[in-house]
Amino acid sequence: MIAVFFALRQELASLKPHINILKKIRHAHAIFYQAEFCGFPITLVQAGVGKNVSEIIHQLSKNFSIQFMISSGFAGSVNPLVGVGDLVIGKHVFSSLQEISEERVCIGSALPCDASAVELAVKISSIDSLKFHCGDVLSVDKIIRQSSLKKHIGKQTSAIAVDMESFAIAERAHAMGVPFIVVRAISDGVDEDMEIGENMVTKGGGVNISATARYLINKPHRIPYLNRLRKQTRLATNTLSAFFPNFITQIYNSLLA
């Protein structure tokens, strides 16, 4: 069974229209969607933001036989060549040792993505004429808000994008001996600041409506930014939606045959 991990409810929209959901399972704040894709078993996991995904994987592995793990959803660009809506295929995933600042970027461990899966993802992206980039992904503890800090990360490391979950998923996958890959789409570019509140997303990956309303009442000048971000996340969702059907089919036909 392939397990695809997303942080946010909106990110699941890239795959949900393509699958037949058989069962919805809740565990703490996470949601497991047990489903079929063209007759193949697949589970979509809405895990929420950050490193708490490790316990969720442990619970999932007790109920399902996981053969392949994918960390997906949105990512932030740290490279001027990697634009909004572009697909990012991870070669390696890095962890950050501490909070990143413009004075210090401390890289911890590095874990490789499955080489065969990376090769397959690149091949499919080329065939489907998707704009993609294959490179390293850095997992961070907090949202990288400032454009200047994104650029600093890009200059100081080999990373082309940042997220908050992939290293924790990769760590569990490697411990379990399960092939793993990062496939994400860019929702915020390297030249823009992230102007969102910390509590606008719930622990489970949904929208905190009351917190978002309070934020917009107090900072109405940020409404145009949120409208732009909504359009950009739609572009990212469309990119993942175009990529996944062929990729998942090929994973089952080749790597998991």
Mean residue pLDDT of the chain comes to 86
What 8-state DSSP symbol labels residue 207? B
pLDDT computed for residue 58 by the predictor: 83
pTM of the model: 0.89
The structure tokens 């942080």 sit at 7
What 8-state DSSP symbol labels residue 146? -
Centre a 10 Å sphere on the Cβ of residue 104 and count the other Cβ atoms it contains.
11
How many whole angstroms separate alpha carbon 203 and alpha carbon 63?
23
Domain boundaries, given as residue ranges, for the chain? 2-255
Tens digits of per-residue pLDDT, 203-214?
544 554 455 555
Q: 2-255 has which fold?
A: Rossmann fold (3.40.50)
Q: Name the band, by pLDDT with cuts 50, 70 and 90, for residue 143.
A: confident
How many whole angstroms separate alpha carbon 56 and alpha carbon 111?
20
CB 118 within 8 A of CB 136: no
The identity of residue 203, as a single letter, is: K
pLDDT computed for residue 205 by the predictor: 47
